[in-house]
Amino acid sequence: MGILSYVREEVKVIRERDPAIKSNMEVFLYPSFKVILRYRIAHKLYRKKHFFLARWISQRAARKTGIEIHPGARIGKGLFIDHGSGVIIGETTEIGNNVTLYQGVTLGGTGKEQGKRHPTLRDNVMVSAGAKILGSFTIGENSKIGAGSVVLEEVPPNCTVVGVPGRVVKMGDQRIPRVDMDQVHLPDPISNDIRELQKDNVRMHRQIQEMEKRMRCMREDNIEVLNEEEKE
**Cβ atoms 19, 42 nearer than 8 A:** no
pLDDT digits (tens, 9 = 90+) for 186-208: 566 666 677 788 888 888 888 89
Res. 178 pLDDT band, cuts 50 70 90: very low
Q: pTM for the whole thing?
A: 0.72
| pLDDT value of residue 75 | 94
- Three-class SS of the chain: CCHHHHHHHHHHHHHHHCCCCCCHHHHHHCHHHHHHHHHHHHHHHHHCCCHHHHHHHHHHHHHHHCCEECCCCEECCCCEECCCCCCEECCCCEECCCCEECCCCEEECCCCCCCCCCCEECCCCEECCCCEEECCCEECCCCEECCCCEECCCECCCEEEECCCCEEEEECCCCCCCCCCCCCCCCCHHHHHHHHHHHHHHHHHHHHHHHHHHHHHHHHHHHHHHHHHHHC
Phi then psi for 79, rounded to 5 degrees? -70, 130
Does 72 have pLDDT greater than 90?
yes
Phi then psi for 161, rounded to 5 degrees? -120, 130
Spatial distance between the Cα atoms of 133 and 149, rounded to a whole number of angstroms: 8
| pLDDT value of residue 1 | 58
Res. 216 pLDDT band, cuts 50 70 90: confident
| pLDDT value of residue 22 | 84
| pLDDT value of residue 230 | 60
Greater confidence (93 vs 209) lies with 93
Give percent above pLDDT 70 in the chain: 85
| pLDDT value of residue 110 | 81
Res. 176 pLDDT band, cuts 50 70 90: very low
| pLDDT value of residue 175 | 47
pLDDT digits (tens, 9 = 90+) for 22-36: 888 888 888 888 999
Greater confidence (7 vs 121) lies with 121
**Cβ atoms 178, 17 nearer than 8 A:** yes
Greater confidence (230 vs 84) lies with 84
Does 173 have pLDDT greater than 60?
no
| pLDDT value of residue 54 | 95
- Side by side, the strands of the sheet bearing 106-108 are 68-69, 88-89, 106-108, 132-134, 150-151
